[in-house]
Amino acid sequence: MATIESYETNAGVRYMVRYRKPDRVQAKKKGFKTKRDANLFMATVEVDKANGTYIDPSKSNITIGGLGPSWLERKQGLKPSSYRPLEIAWRVHVEPAWGKYPITKIMFSDVQTWVTKMSVGDAKVKPPVKPKSATTVIRAYGVLAAILDDAVKDRRLQANPVRGVDLPRKSRKEHVFLSHEQIRDLADTSKYPALIRVLAYCGLRWGEATALRVQDVDMIRRRLNVNQNAVDVGGKIVVGTPKSHERRSVPFPEFLAPAIGEACKDKHREDLVFPNEEGTYLRAISGGSGRGSWFLKAVQRAGVPRITPHDLRHTAASFAVSARANVKAVQRMLGHSSASMTLDVYAELFDDDLDGVAVALNEAVSRMNVP
């Protein structure tokens, strides 16, 4: 049972509460100005112990900077391409703003102000702070919130004080769909025409296409077996499993067989199908600005809308839908986690299906009026 004791200080009488934590270890809290305050604290401790919601003050006496590195370390099991953005968000945005804050001192309103300032920038300071993208803001907030979520699970906090903050909305980039003629022109002016056509007609991600090995190509069944993904992480190519760890088999049209066969000719099973001149993983862009990029030069020479290699996935999706492939087939080709994700990303491609529904309903009702 908790007890209350008084003691003398230079400022007058103060009160101390002695109590036992749920693990039966004795603890104390000093500094109460009135016996009533001490009684309220003592009652709160007993209620929290009975409800299982007791928080040990010694475990709460830690800063975000004290918890962040261990949280980040627990995320090292992620793919490098997923881990690196979290590390950057922590190092650049979260730790400088919140590292010195005790977790018990973080206020919802302060975090909302931080999120808003990142979103809109600050022109009053010198040099002015430019607005951050919605993706950057959401990721930085997510890191802070996740650290505090773990603090709740570790019984350092009763609740996460920052959940529910208003976040900026991501604006979806408008898709660019090329025509068959534009793909022909782009491939013909490109240094790697077979790769351009594979991206545009098979829908592989850039890293999936550049990680293809000869043993992944089934010329008899006309299949590309996607088993690996080569991703540029901080200037270094990291090879791992495909996105969401989902290996898949993607068909390629017959007209691509000669070009793919030529790309595999006289190579060993472990050799890359589309390597660079040194025989290693091909990059689309040389340097951060894209200057010297063989892909950008091909786009400029072909006179097609400015696109990235990833945009060719959108074209592949549009070709598949126009060829009357159902959404499930498109999902499997692109390697999406679900058909609903495919519909969310490419809803505009299925507008003709809506027109078809209206036509079918009209025909059904018209038949009712036929004698």
pLDDT at 168: 94
**Is residue 143 in a domain?**
yes
Is residue 39 in some structural domain? yes
My answer on whether 203 and 87 are in the same domain is: no
Closest CA to 202 of 319, 304, 307: 319
Question: Of 359 and 168, which is predicted with more confidence?
Answer: 168
Top-ranked range on mean pLDDT: pick from 149-163, 234-248, 285-299, 353-367: 149-163
The answer to whether residue 172 is domain-embedded is no
Residue 280 resides in a domain: yes
Question: pLDDT tens, 28-48?
Answer: 888 899 999 999 988 888 887
pLDDT at 359: 59
CA dist., res. 4 & res. 122, Å (int): 51
> Which residues, 6+ apart, have CB-to-CB distance to 156 below 8 Å?
55, 59, 60, 62, 103
Q: Which residues contact 221 (CB under 8 A, 6 or more apart)?
A: 251
Q: Average pLDDT, whole number, for the chain?
A: 88
Give 164-171's long-range contacts (Cβ < 8 A, gap of 24+).
164/108, 165/108, 165/111, 165/112, 165/115, 165/141, 166/112, 166/115, 166/116, 167/115, 167/134, 167/137, 167/138, 167/141, 168/115, 168/119, 168/134, 168/137, 168/138, 169/134, 170/134, 170/135, 170/138, 171/134
Q: What is the pLDDT of residues 3-26, one digit of tens each?
A: 899 999 998 999 999 988 887 888
Report which of 93, 97, 102, 91 is spatially closest to residue 67, judged by C-alpha positions: 102
Distances (CA, A) of 244 to 2, 162, 202, 297: 53, 29, 18, 32
The count of structural domains within the chain is 3
Each residue's pLDDT tens digit, 128-148 = 888 999 999 999 999 999 999
In this structure, are residues 295 and 285 in contact, taking their beta carbons and an 8 Å threshold?
yes
195 & 337 share domain: yes
Is residue 188 within 8 A of residue 137, CB to CB? The reply is no
Residue 168: inside a domain, yes or no? no
What is the reported pLDDT for 291? 45
| Residues facing 278 on adjacent strands | none
Does residue 202 sit in the same domain as residue 309?
yes
- Residue 365 covered by a domain: no
Q: Is residue 370 included in any domain, yes or no?
A: no
Handedness of CA 142, 148, 150, 152 (dihedral sign): negative
**Which SS3 state, helix, strand or coil, does residue 170 take?**
coil
- Say whether both 221 and 339 belong to one domain: yes
Shared-domain flag, residues 100 and 37: no
Whole-angstrom distance, CA of residue 129 vs CA of residue 263: 49
Q: What is the CATH number of the domain that holds 225?
A: 1.10.443.10
pLDDT tens digits, one per residue of 240-299: 888 866 789 999 999 999 999 999 999 999 999 999 989 999 987 654 444 458 999 999
pTM of the model: 0.75
Residues 88 and 207 in one domain: no
Element (H, E) at 356: helix 351-368
Phi, psi of 270 (to 5 degrees): -85, -5
Residues in the chain: 371
Q: Are 128 and 159 in contact (CB under 8 A)?
A: no
| pLDDT tens-digit series, residues 174-221 | 889 999 999 999 999 999 999 999 999 999 999 999 999 999 999 999
Taking 70 as the threshold, does the pLDDT of residue 355 lie above it?
no
Same domain for 228 and 310? Answer: yes
Q: Which residue has the higher pLDDT, 268 or 341?
A: 268
Domain-embedded: residue 229: yes
Query: What pLDDT shows up at residue 292?
Result: 52
State mean pLDDT over 297-325. Answer: 91
Judged by average pLDDT, the poorest of 40-49, 271-280, 325-334, 346-355 is 346-355
Q: Are residues 69 and 145 in the same domain?
A: yes
The pLDDT assigned to 57 comes to 76
**CATH at 109:** 1.10.150
Owning domain of residue 28: 3-54
State how far Cα 337 lies from the chain centre.
Answer: 14
Distances (CA, A) of 105 to 17, 64, 161, 311: 23, 10, 9, 45
Which residue, 13, 33, 54, sits at the end of a domain? Answer: 54
**Same domain for 348 and 285:** yes
Q: Each residue of 44-89: pLDDT tens digit?
A: 888 878 777 777 777 888 999 999 999 999 999 898 889 999 999 9
| Same domain (yes/no): 345, 202 | yes
Q: Are residues 115 and 258 in the same domain?
A: no
Name the more confident of 212 and 362. 212
Claim to verify: residue 33 and residue 126 sit in the same structural domain: no
Percent of the chain whose predicted confidence (pLDDT) is above 90: 57
Residue 371: pLDDT above 60?
A: no
Residues 202, 212 contacting (CB under 8 angstroms): no
- ∠ CA 199-202-204, nearest 5°, is 60
